[in-house]
Amino acid sequence: MHGDPMMWVAGIRALYLQALHPRAVRGVTQNSDFRRDAWGRLMRTADFVGTTTYGTTEAAERAGARVRKIHSMLTATDPDSGERYGVDEPELLLWVHCAEIDSYLHVLRRSGFPLTDAQADRYIAEHRAGARLVGLDPATVPADRAELAAYFTRVRPRLAAGPEAREVDEFLLRPPVHPLLVPARALLWRRVALLAYAALPPYAQELYGRPAPAPAAVTRRLRATGALLRRIPARLRWQLPPKHILRAMARLGPDARPAPAKLRP
């Protein structure tokens, strides 16, 4: 799944969703200048996902240790109450984790990636290993679609589109680029960001207050985008940084090449 090009759309959807948890998004906005280092932050996230997906066990453990160390040193402040809290609170880590996994699964399946319900449940369960790496107790992490849906039902009353979420929304629509790339941003990036936003659950769109196309139209756009991107040869797509898939294939041999046809029932 993680070798599919629609993961980029899924990642943007995850950012939109994650920003709706006020305590979680403050941990980002108060501890990093994501506007100035947007692409660096994006690549670090992609590198972590790539390492935990395609790297060795040792590399994944090292990556997790780095994340836990960084998070342990960071705090955020609630502007209303003045409360200072750590960004490594289990509640916040769990929200970030679930928003990511839900987005990856939702966008890929809705765009035509062949995955049965049983395989979707297995995908969610497998990610408990990644949750452990960032500091969560796997026993507290949803293990299937039913548990994931129940989690979102529980957390929804705590979500809001506060000032930080609005800042993320504005950033995702108009990320900083070189002046010469502004036309490309309007032509390509904005369309991707709007598609990711349209793929959000209705309650998230209501919180942001921006309309989205009808669900059937969104599904058609996701399928069309997925079909187009999947026509790009995989070997060409995998040349983009951070190249984890190519390194894994070099280490494990050509039979390790990711392909939907290899999905086990």
CA-closest candidate to residue 73, choices 88, 89, 92: 88
Peptide bond into 242 cis (omega under 30): yes
For the chain, give the number of residues.
265
For the whole model, what pTM was predicted?
Answer: 0.94
Mean pLDDT by 10-residue block, N- to C-terminus, for the chain (265 residues)?
94 96 94 71 85 96 96 95 96 97 98 96 96 97 98 98 94 84 83 96 96 96 97 91 92 90 81
Burial of 254 per CB tally in 10 Å (0-12, 13-18, 19+):
exposed
**Alpha-carbon torsion, ordered 163, 35, 49, 182, to 10 deg:** 110
Angstrom distances, CA of residue 136 to CA of 78, 94, 260:
23, 7, 29
